[in-house]
Amino acid sequence: MRLWEFYARNSQEVLGLVGQHLYLVAISTGAAIVIGVPLGVLLTRRPAWRGPVLGMANVFQTVPSLALFGFLIPLPFIGGIGARTAIVALVLYALLPIVRNTYEGVAGVDPAVREAGRGMGMTDWQLLTQVELPLGFGVILAGVRVATVVSVGTATIAAAIGAGGLGVYIFRGVAVVDDTLILAGALPAALMALAADGLLGVAARRFAWRGK
């Protein structure tokens, strides 16, 4: 029960770190959606770009997260110490599942449906917004779900470059070999990941069109 004592004594700080953590995840996932969904759609229109773009996104995924945060620090404009650099790194991580699932969701629409839509005289924009995105929504949302859950975990490492968040407790706990402190950071992060996963799962069941 030392954990509860810790929370009781530091409630102000805990809430602040939870807030920072949520901020990092929300901003980075939001930005990754804004960049990733149009990029995924673009790949369905320019199949030749698919290999290079997905390859790039894949490369970002393979760089160990701590190293990626480190690499970004010396870069001008996006680099430095703090939340901004962390957000850039988190966006790069979240991009792959979102781009890939958007591509697959849209490309996976039955070709006969697409041909019928074009044959009826729908413009490319109408086909995209009325047919392809609604039908691909479930797959796209699954990508957002993966990206969000991964971001919650990866954002704990952002504390290493001074971006705050629940990683602050984890790094401090590791440094002074204090299990309670590590748990104080890890537990809310885990709960946050579960909550995000659950909420997006509910949204998927509620809004996404499902095949017969």
Partner 1 sequence: MTKPLEVEGLGYDLPGRGKGERRKSRSLVRDVSFTVGAGETLVLLGRSGSGKTTTLKLINRLLEPTSGEVRVAGERAADLPVTRLRRRIGYVIQEVGLFPHFTVERNVGLVPRLEAWPPARIAARVRELLALVGLDPDTFAGRYPHELSGGQRQRVGVARALAADPPLLLLDEPFGALDPITRVELQREFAALEGRLGKGMVFVTHDVREGLLLGSRIGLMLQGRLAFLGTPDEFRRSDHPEVKAFMAAA
Binding mask 128-167 for partner 1 (x = CB under 8 A): --xx--xx--------------------------------
Non-local (6+) Cβ contacts of 180 within 8 A are 2, 3, 6, 173
Residue 105 contacts partner 1 per CB under 8 A: no
User: Judged by CB under 8 A, which of 34, 66, 116, 202 binds partner 1?
Assistant: 116
Q: Are 40 and 49 in contact (CB under 8 A)?
A: no
Burial class (CB in 10 A: 0-12, 13-18, 19+), 101: buried
Q: How many helices (H) and strands (E) does the chain have?
A: 10, 0
Residue 84 contacts partner 1 per CB under 8 A: no
Residue 87 contacts partner 1 per CB under 8 A: no
User: Judged by CB under 8 A, which of 50, 84, 118, 172 binds partner 1?
Assistant: 118
User: Judged by CB under 8 A, which of 3, 115, 129, 207 binds partner 1?
Assistant: 115
The amino acid that residue 150 corresponds to is: V
Q: Are 181 and 196 in contact (CB under 8 A)?
A: no
Of the two residues 135 and 166, which places its CB atom closer to partner 1 in the complex? 135
Binding residues for partner 1, per CB under 8 A?
110, 112-123, 126, 130-131, 134-135, 209, 211-212
